[in-house]
Amino acid sequence: MIPIVFDLDGTLVDSAPDLHAACVKMLADEGAPTPDLQTVIGYIGNGVPRLVELAMKEAGIAADQHARLVKSYMVHYDADPVTLTTIYPNLLELLENLKTKGHRLAVCTNKPESPARVILKMLGIEHFFDVVVGGDTLAVKKPNPEPLFECLKLMGVERCLYVGDSEVDAETADRANMPMALFTQGYRKTPVDELPHAFAFDDFAALGPYIESL
């Protein structure tokens, strides 16, 4: 059974509304203009520090305030991480089926590990995953392939199918030389045919048959 490693934001969960809400609160505290949801979706993928950096730049806030605002963002986000976050349709059925058949499952995300685990637990899907590697688990983040390799190491395997939704995920899988299944309904900005992937899908009901074909 091939192990499966999933990205989190934009792949397992649609978390953009809660990420947006925390960003709005952070900027409102500064008396700065606040972005709409689509703008914040464009900031997602490279972890919280990068999201905050992009939001600050758009709002005209000095770069030397970055560390302080990352802390502010995390205070707001940690206080309310799942009110607006949902799992994607047909995902729960897929996870149950994969687990029943004996697939090892993991999460590799650029979100800090602690809130990632909280979200998985609060959404009732934490028990499906043997391993969670977050954006602060190692000294590097995706698209560096080391977080994905860490997942494999902790699972005791050498290969996996990586499932993600973004440019960062595609580059991570490519650099790790792992096949990728690209979820096309996440936070990707680049056309599907311009990203390296083995399989593209827009509904998790289609991913199970693909995995079984491997």
The catalytic residues are 7
| Contact assessment for residue 98 and residue 105, using Cβ atoms and an 8 Å cutoff | yes
Q: Name the strand (E) or helix (H) holding 4.
A: strand 4-6
Give phi and psi for 183, each to the nearest 5: -80, 115
HSE-CB for 33 with a 13 A CA cutoff? 7
| Radius of gyration, alpha carbons of the chain | 17
Which two structure tokens, joined as six digits, stand for 103? 């697939």
Q: Which residues pair with 107 in a beta bridge?
A: 6, 132
Q: Is the dihedral of CA 88, 94, 99, 105 positive or negative?
A: negative
Q: Which of 132, 126, 40, 123 is nearest to 87 (CA)?
A: 123
The closest of 163, 165, 85, 156 to 125, measured between CA atoms, is: 85
